[in-house]
Chains A and B, each alone.
Chain A
Amino acid sequence: MAYQLYRNTTLGNSLQESLDELIQTQQITPQLALQVLLQFDKAINTALANRVRNRVNFRGSLNTYRFCDNVWTFVLNDVEFREVTDLVKVDKVKIVACDGKNSGSNAGE
C-alpha cells in the first residue's frame, strides 16, 4: 500500500475537502471517498517518484527530532533551501519523513 503521507499536502487536503463536500450532499458514500484517497496515494507516490527530477540542498539548525514508528519528524529553524537557481529562506519548518526503503517493495499493491 502506498504511503498516505501525502494526504497532508495542498493537493491532498483540497481533495479531502472536496470529497467531504460530496459526502455531505450525499452524492458519494464515505466508502467511495476512501477509495478515491487510496487512488490518490498511489497516483502521487508514482508521480513524485517518476515525474519529478530535481535536487535541493538545505542547511539550518535542528530544533527537535523525533523517531517513532519508523517516521522521522524534525523541526528546523532558519533554514536555507537551495536549488540550482533559487534560494528560499524559512524561519521554521517541520519535516515529516517516512522510510524511503520500503516504498519500492510494497506487498499486496
Chain B
Amino acid sequence: ISECTLHLQAKLYLSIIDDVIESMRELFLDEGIEDRVLDDLRHLWESKMMQSRAMEDFRKNNNNSSNFVLQLPASYAQPEQEIPGKKRVSFTDAGGANTVATFSLPAGLTYPVQIPAGVTLQTASGQLYKVNVPVVVTQAPTGQQPLPCPGPKAPQPQPVQVRVNTASAHAVAPSILSNPTTVALASQTKTNPVPVQEPPPPPPPQLDLDYSALSDIVQLDGAADNSEDDDVTALEENDFLGIINAEAMKALQEGDRSSDGNGFSSSSDSEAAEDELDPLNSGDDVIEQDIPDLFDTDNVIVCQYDKIHRSKNRWKFHLKDGVMTYGGRDYVFSKAVGEAEW
C-alpha cells in the first residue's frame, strides 16, 4: 500500500479524532469537567492509535517524536545521568505541559536506552511503573519479539517486578505488553515462558456416577445388545448428546464392559460400538465447531451496502464507506465492488 495512501489515511484518522474532541469540549465544560480530562482522552486515544499498527507508517514519518510517552517524576529530572552500561541518557521535558512530558531522545542518542533501578515511570494513561531492576528500552523492529542483548553489562532478561495501580492494571497491562517499542520490561515479560494452561481437569466423579446409572438402562438395548441396533444407538446419542463428551463416552464404554453380565465378550462389541459411535459423533462435532470459529476472525470490514445481488451461486457486492482491518492495519474505501462464488 502506498505511502501516500497511508499518510492520507492517518490524516483522516487524526481529523476524526480532532472532530470528536473539539465537539465534546463544550459539553465537557457544561458538565464541569476540566479541560485536562479532555486532553487526557485525546492523548489516550492517540497513543493507542499510534501503538496499533493502523497508524504505523504515519508514526514512522514523525521521526522527532518518541514512540512512547512517559512522565518522569520530578526527582528524576536530572540533566544527565551516568548509567552503568556505557550509555549516557538525558531526559528533557520537550512537551512543556505539566501533565504529560513527551520526551525525545537527544540528537545522537539512539536506542537502546537504559533506565536504572528505582525509577518510577508514569505513562500517559497515568499508570505508575516502578522499575525494580535496570531496564533497557529498545526499539524492537515491529513484530519481532525477542530482544537483542544490548551489551555485556546489560541486565540479563529476568522476570521484572512491576507495581501498577490495581484499578487499571488489567486495562493497561495488555496494551503495554502488545507494544514492541515500549520499555524492555514488557518485552521481557513476553519472552518469559508463559505459564502453560493446565489441561482441563477430568470430569467430576459425579458425572461418572450419572453415567453408570444411565448405562445400566442403556446397555439393555445399547452397545451390549447382540443386534447392534442403529436406531438404538442413534437414540442414545440424541438423548445424551448435550452431555456427552469424549471422556464420558469412555466412562460409558467402561461401564458397559464392567457391568455386562451376559457372558459374551463385550469388549469387542463395545469397541465396535465405539467405532460406530465415534464417526457419528465426530461428524456432528465438526459442524458444531465450525460455526463459532467461522465468524471469529481478525480481518473485518465494517461498511454499508448499496446493493447485494445474487444469481444462482454468484454473488455481487456493492459496498461503500468502509473500513477494513487486516493484519493490524487499516484500509478505508468509499466504494467497493466485489464478486464471489458460494
Contact present for A10 and B171 (CB under 8 Å):
no
For the residues of A in contact with B, the DSSP-based class is mixed
A21 and B45 form a contact (CB under 8 A): no
Which residues between 309 and 331 of chain B lie within 8 Å of chain A, taking CB atoms?
315, 317, 319-326, 330-331
Q: Are B171 and A98 in contact (CB under 8 A)?
A: no
A51 to B339, CA, bound (A): 26
Contacts of B59 in A (CB 8 A): none
Q: Give bound CA distance, A22 to B39, whole Å.
A: 11
A74, A83, A85: which has the most chain B beta carbons within 10 Å? A74
Q: Is B304 a contact of A103 with CB atoms below 8 Å? A: yes
Cβ proximity bits A12-23 to B, threshold 8 Å, 1 near / 0 not: 001101111110
Known A55-B337, A58-B338, A93-B326; judge A10-B321 contact (CB<8 A): no
B332 interfacial by beta-carbon distance below 8 Å? yes
- Which single member of A29, A51, A81, A92 contacts B297 (CB below 8 Å)? A92
Q: A64-B294, A93-B297, A100-B320 are in contact. Are A36 and B340 (CB under 8 A)?
A: no
**From residue 285 to 311 of chain B, which have CB atoms closer than 8 A to chain A?**
294-295, 297, 299-306, 308
Asked if B321 and A43 sit within 8 Å, CB to CB, the answer is: no
- Say if the beta carbon of A1 comes within 8 Å of chain B: no
User: Are A60 and B335 touching (Cβ within 8 A)?
Assistant: no
How long is the Cα–Cα vector from A55 to B23 in the complex, in angstroms?
Answer: 30
For residue A91, give the distance in angstroms from its CB to the closest CB of chain B: 8
Main secondary structure of the interface of B (DSSP, over half): mixed
Our count of residue pairs bridging A and B at CB distance below 8 angstroms stands at 212
A40-73 vs B: 1/0 string, CB under 8 Å?
1001111111011111111111111100000011
Residue of B nearest to A41 (CB): B20
A14 to chain B, nearest CB (A): 4
Residue A105 interfacial (CB < 8 Å)? no
State in angstroms the CA–CA spacing of A19 and B322 once bound together.
24
User: What is the interface residue range for chain A against chain B?
Assistant: 35 or more
Q: Bound complex: CA of A11 vs CA of B332, how far in Å? A: 12
- Residues of chain B within 8 A (CB-CB) of A27 are 33, 37, 40
Residues of A within 8 A of B (CB): 3, 5-6, 8-11, 14-15, 17-22, 24-25, 27-29, 32, 35-36, 39-40, 43-49, 51-65, 72-76, 79, 81, 83, 85-86, 88, 90, 92-101, 103
10 contacts between A and B (CB under 8 A): A18-B44, A28-B37, A43-B20, A45-B321, A54-B5, A55-B333, A55-B335, A73-B295, A85-B2, A100-B319
**A55-B333, A55-B335 known, 13 other contacts, Cβ within 8 Å:** A8-B302, A32-B33, A43-B20, A53-B334, A62-B315, A64-B294, A72-B305, A83-B5, A90-B326, A95-B319, A98-B303, A100-B304, A100-B321
